[in-house]
């Protein structure tokens, strides 16, 4: 069964704008990870945030985690056409297997 649920399901923005995607989950976690998937390809790991962290940055990516609300957000700043992809959150719970959401399909228009 899926654990994380991304919101929105689809997002379309203009190049240069910021994109924000949200993830909600149900059970306690050890960490939460964000992945990107280009069409027809496998997933690529973007960033991992541990349950005791609240915010993390990597280049144009900013991830927040609110364990009290069981939610996370991924912000991509100054988006580019190459950022067009599906973005998934994945939670690592005590079972040591990853549970992925259905993803947010991001389209960045040039």
Query: Smallest distance, Å, CB 100 to another protein?
Result: 4
Binding site for another protein (CB under 8 A): 2, 30-31, 33, 35, 40-45, 48, 50, 88, 90, 92, 95-103
Q: CB of 16: closest distance to another protein in angstroms?
A: 27
Within 10 angstroms of residue 51's Cβ, the number of other Cβ atoms is: 13
Residue 95 or 110: the one with the smaller Cβ distance to another protein is 95
Of 93, 47, 95, 94, the C-alpha closest to 73 is 47
| Cα-based distances in Å from 1 to 24, 35, 102 | 14, 18, 11
Structure tokens at 41: 């390809």
Instruction: CB nearer to another protein: give 15 or 62.
Output: 62
Least CB distance from residue 67 to another protein, whole Å?
A: 15
Q: Which is nearer to another protein, 65 or 88 (CB)?
A: 88
Find, among 87, 101, 90, the residue nearest to 21 by Cα: 87
């Amino acid at each position: 069964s899926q654990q994380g649920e991304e919101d929105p399901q689809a997002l379309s923005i203009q190049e240069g704008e910021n994109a924000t995607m949200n993830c909600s989950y149900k059970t306690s976690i050890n960490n939460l990870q964000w992945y990107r998937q280009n069409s027809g390809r496998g997933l690529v790991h973007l960033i991992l945030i541990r349950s005791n962290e609240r915010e993390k940055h990597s280049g144009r990516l900013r991830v927040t985690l609110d364990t009290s609300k069981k939610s996370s957000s991924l912000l991509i700043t100054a988006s580019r056409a190459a950022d067009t992809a599906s973005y998934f959150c994945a939670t690592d719970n005590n079972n040591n297997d990853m549970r992925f959401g259905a993803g947010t399909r991001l389209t960045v228009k040039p």
